[in-house]
Every structure is written in C-alpha cells, then in structure tokens.
Structure 1
C-alpha cells in the first residue's frame, strides 16, 4: 500500500514538505510527521478527487515531534481520476497542494460477474426431524467432535461446585455455582449445534 508522507515544521514553523504528486490504486494513509512544535493540519480534496477519495475527518492535531496517520478510503474506479489534495497548516498561513491520481485497482474485475439462475431459486426444504432424533443427532455430533472428555470434565466440575456450595452454605458461592451451571449449559448447547 503506498503512503503519502508529509513533513511538518521541518525548515520553519508551519512549513509543509510533501511530494508534488502521488499515485495509488486503493486506500492509503497520509502520514503527517511533525518535526517541531504541535500544529493543526487541515486536509481537503478538490471536487474531482472528493468523488472517489474520503477522509474520516479533515482537521488533525499533530503533537510536538509526533506522527499521525490519516486513513484515506477510495472507491473502485474504472478509469484514472486526478485531483488535488490541499494541505493547510497554521490556520491558513501555509498551504501546499499534492497532485493525486487514483488508478483502477488491478484486483477489480474488468468484466461483470455472471450470475447463475440457480441463485434465484428458493433453497431446498430440509425435512423436519422428530425431537427424539434431534437429541440422538446432537449426542452423535458431540461424540464425533471429541466433546465427551470435555462434557465429563464439565460434569465433574459442576458436581464439585455443588459440593462446595453445600459445604459453605453461602449465597455468594451459590451464585457462582449458578453462573458455572449456566456457562456449562451454554457450552453444551454450542457443542451440539
């Protein structure tokens, strides 16, 4: 992914050092590298470029000797789009323009995607499974996924938790046991579905 590097406050206060031109075929970051005191930077695309490139926000604060990455999203284009990125510092005291060109992405398909008619057909209905058979199927899936050991360990943990709750006879411990039981029940549901 290409990066548009901009140096701020390099030679003087509010100085902007940016390339004359920049070419991309997709999203890119504008990297604002501040070499001096903190500054406010305003970024703006002209009308042509604004149709295909988007900034999350236009105004950016860059702290003393810090770097800020500003993400630029781009739309897929069929042909090259040219425009200017306006970079302003010092509340308008210094302005710099970068010629930006957005090219069609080499990954974008040049021909439309053919859609098969079978996609418009409704999905086949699956026959209703009786409740007793659902339980057998769920147990079968649990065994095939290797969940028997996990289920056994969970059962032992729940029995141990209930034993501790009975021995301690505390509301907090019973609450913890309830949470453990609900978690174990949820895990079993996830395992069999």
Structure 2
C-alpha cells in the first residue's frame, strides 16, 4: 500500500514538505510527520478527487514531534481519476497542493468459495446397527475427541463423591453427588453424540 508522506515544520514553522504527485490504486494513508511544535493541519480534496476519495475528517491535530496517520478510503474506479489534495497549516498561513491520481485496482477480486451441497445436509446415521456396535462407535468418537482423560477424571470424581456420601451419610451430600452424577452423565452423552 503506498503512503503519502508529509513532513510538517521541517525547515520553518508551518512548513509543509510533500511530494508534487502521488498515485494509489486503493485506500492509502496520509502520514503527517511533525518535526517541530504541535500544529493543526487541514486536508481537503478538490471536487474531482472528492468523488472517489474520502477522509474520515479534514482537520487534524499533530502533537510536538509526533506522527499522525490519516486514512483515505477510495471508491473502485474504472479509469484513473486525477485531482488535488490541499494541505493547509497555521490556520491558512501555509498551503501546499499534491497532485493525486487514483487508479483502478490491480488486485483481482476474490472469487466466492464454492460450498458443496452435501455439507448442508446432516450426516446420515445408520439406525440398524446393533447396540454393541453403536457403543463401540460412541467410544471411538470419545477417544478421537480426546475425551478419555475427562471421562476418567469424571468417573474418579463421582467415585470420590459416593465414598464421601457413604462416610458422612448426609442427605445434602447425597444430593450433591446425584447432581454431579447427572452432570457427568450429560457431559458423557454430549461427548459421544
């Protein structure tokens, strides 16, 4: 992406050093590089260029020895469009014009990605599998998804909860263990689905 570099306050107060001409084939930044004290800069495109190029705002404050990037968006054009960018500092005390040309984009437009219609249909399930084969398939999916470690830790947590409930013999602990068992069962069903 080309950059329109503008130096401010280089040789004198409100001095503007910019190229005589600039060309771009798409959006570009105007880089305001301030070499001195803080300043206000006004940027404006003439009528021809204003039809295809736009600034978010025209007035910009650039702090002491700072750099400010101003984004210029451009419309798609079929043929080059020429115009002038007016750069003003010191509330009109110094003005500089840059001849700007916006060319047709050299980038090729992205082609849409073709999506196979088969991807929009849900996967086919074979309802006539015997229960043992369905269990083996579910276990295989669990292993492929890395759920064995989670299943082992869940089983150990439920076993520890049951042991605690037997040791304490409290209805509240049994309720918590039952709830944990239901959550573990639900997670296991989601993992193999």
TM over 0.5, shorter chain = yes
Give the corresponding residue for 1:99. 99
Task: Please list the CA deviations of residues 142-191 of structure 1 after superposition, one character each: whole Å capped at 9, or x if unmatched.
Answer: 43232433x247738977xx8xxxxxxxxxxxxxxxxxxx9xx99x97x7
Shift of 1:141: 4.6
Shift of 1:139: 7.0
Q: Please give the root-mean-square deviation of Cα atoms over the aligned residues, in Å.
A: 4.2
- Following the alignment from structure 1 to structure 2, what is the Cα–Cα distance between the partners of residues 51 and 192? 58
Task: Please list the CA deviations of residues 45-91 of structure 1 after superposition, one character each: whole Å capped at 9, or x if unmatched.
Answer: 11221222121221111011111111111222111111111111111
Shift of 1:192: 7.4
- Following the alignment from structure 1 to structure 2, what is the Cα–Cα distance between the partners of residues 93 and 100? 22
Which blocks of at least 5 consecutive residues in structure 1 are unaligned?
Answer: 130-135, 163-181
Which blocks of at least 5 consecutive residues in structure 2 are unaligned?
Answer: 126-134, 162-182
TM-score (ref. length: structure 2):
0.64
Give the corresponding residue for 1:155. 154
Give the corresponding residue for 2:11. 11
Give the count of matched residue pairs: 162
- Following the alignment from structure 2 to structure 1, what is the Cα–Cα distance between the partners of residues 156 and 48? 65
Partner-residue secondary structure (3-state), 2:49: helix
TM-score (ref. length: structure 1):
0.64
- Following the alignment from structure 1 to structure 2, what is the Cα–Cα distance between the partners of residues 42 and 153? 67
Larger Rg: 2
